[in-house]
Amino acid sequence: MVSSEVKNFGIIGYPVGHSLSPQVYKAAFEAEGLLNYNYIPLQVHSAKLYFAVEGLKALDFRGFNVTIPHKTNILKYLDAIDSDAMVIGAVNTVVNDGGMLTGYNTDVAGFLASLAEANFLPCDCHAVVLGAGGAARAILWSLCKKRAEHITIGARNPQKAQALANDFLSYGNVEGLDWNSEEFNELMQEADILINTTPLGMFPNMDDMPPVDLKLLPEGALVYDIVYNPAETKLIKTAKELGYPTLNGMSMLLLQGKESYRLYTGQLPNMAVMTNTLLKFLNVTA
């Protein structure tokens, strides 16, 4: 349905020039005839976050996405926070309803929807999560919500891994380990799914991958890399060569974007348009 109403959306971060959200959302808006919907990248320094949020409210932005380094700090400037975002401690989507700002974390919906598309049921699974940074938190909460039987966090820094695990102990059976330890290697042999949440292998450092032995995984274990650029990381390529089913980060990226779009507009986007636009700008052929 064609709309003549002007509405503004955006993404705030520092830096923000690398984001493909403006291209993807603009294409989705145009596909639905929302020709006066604008999506603007906004570079905001950490010291200016409060003023940026107040400015976006004053300018009546309908909503905005939030990326590094503001996902956590923005919570204190919002009027309400969705339950998922509260547990995770990070917001990636803000909706403005008449001056009331509500924060959401759509990574949960995106991650779980991507697993559903891959016909993987996280209930009662043993999951191994690589990395103990901010990206791991939404993954951990998603797995806990779906009652994964056991979650092992493997990281270079075992203290950081266990500290992250402690944050989720009240929600599930979670532990943190050194990914070079014998105990971690033993648990790799029981995993139903391995999820990389580190940036290892991301463009332009495409020769990197987490230092884990994929051959330890049981036959049929799903190897999931949330990195989407490149579409086939070294981790994914190695897993394919070993015969494991794989999933890259593009599905999660697109499906969390689908949820943000729904929160912004009350409608579902044309996913084919969003997918093709992302592929175009990543120089990937479908």
Catalytic annotation, residues: 71
Residues 6+ apart with CB under 8 A from 284: 230, 231
SS3 115: helix
Please give the single-letter amino acid code of residue 269.
P
Q: Give CA–CA dist 275/201, Å, rounded.
A: 22
Q: Give CA–CA dist 237/246, Å, rounded.
A: 9
Q: Give CA–CA dist 22/24, Å, rounded.
A: 6
Residues 6+ apart with CB under 8 A from 218: 189, 190, 191, 192
Cα–Cα separations (whole angstroms), residue 75 to 12, 90, 142, 286: 14, 7, 20, 37
Q: Give me the residues paired with residue 63 across strands.
A: 9, 95
